[in-house]
């Protein structure tokens, strides 16, 4: 269950980050772990869900209480530095979408 983000009452926000890793993502794993740890310490952070497949295609969704929390995280100094390296070195391509969560469900019932 610890790979799933909590389910507070909507509305809240999701940052959906889809990315294709470059063929030589040196240092990526360490930085991703460090960024996840930093995000957890940010005000307004709700949780994170992330999956990366064998081809290096990944989706990471982070959840935030409000837009201000997303803005503060985007401007976090360590995160800014990681974004810069990511753009220069780690990501072949990425698409990022900010969305307002309106409803949520979980299942299967009883599990």
Helix-helix angle 67-74:77-85, to 10 degrees: 70
# residues contacting its own copies (CB under 8 A): 42
Which phi and psi (to 5°) does residue 57 adopt?
Answer: -90, 125
Site for its own copies in 22-51 (CB under 8 A): 49-51
Instruction: Indicate the residue among 40 and 93 with the shorter CB distance to its own copies.
Output: 93
Position among 41, 54, 75, 77 found at the interface with its own copies (CB under 8 A): 54
Residues 6+ apart with CB under 8 A from 38: 76, 78, 79
Residues 6+ apart with CB under 8 A from 69: 13, 42, 43, 44, 45
> At 35, is the secondary structure helix, strand, or coil?
helix
Position among 52, 65, 66, 72 found at the interface with its own copies (CB under 8 A): 52
Shortest CB 28 distance to its own copies, Å? 14
Shortest CB 44 distance to its own copies, Å? 16
- The residues binding its own copies (CB under 8 A) are 1, 3-5, 7, 13-14, 16, 18, 20, 49-54, 57-59, 61, 87-88, 91-109, 111
């Amino acid at each position: 269950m610890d790979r799933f983000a909590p389910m507070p009452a909507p509305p809240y926000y999701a940052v959906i980050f889809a990315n294709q890793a470059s063929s030589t993502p040196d240092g990526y794993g360490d930085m991703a772990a460090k960024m996840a740890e930093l995000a957890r310490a940010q005000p307004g952070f709700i949780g994170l869900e992330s999956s990366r497949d064998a081809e290096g295609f990944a989706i990471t969704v982070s959840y935030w209480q409000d837009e201000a929390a997303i803005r503060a995280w985007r401007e976090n100094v360590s995160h800014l530095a990681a974004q810069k390296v990511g753009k220069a070195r780690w990501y072949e391509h990425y698409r990022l979408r900010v969305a307002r969560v309106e409803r949520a469900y979980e299942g299967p019932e009883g599990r």
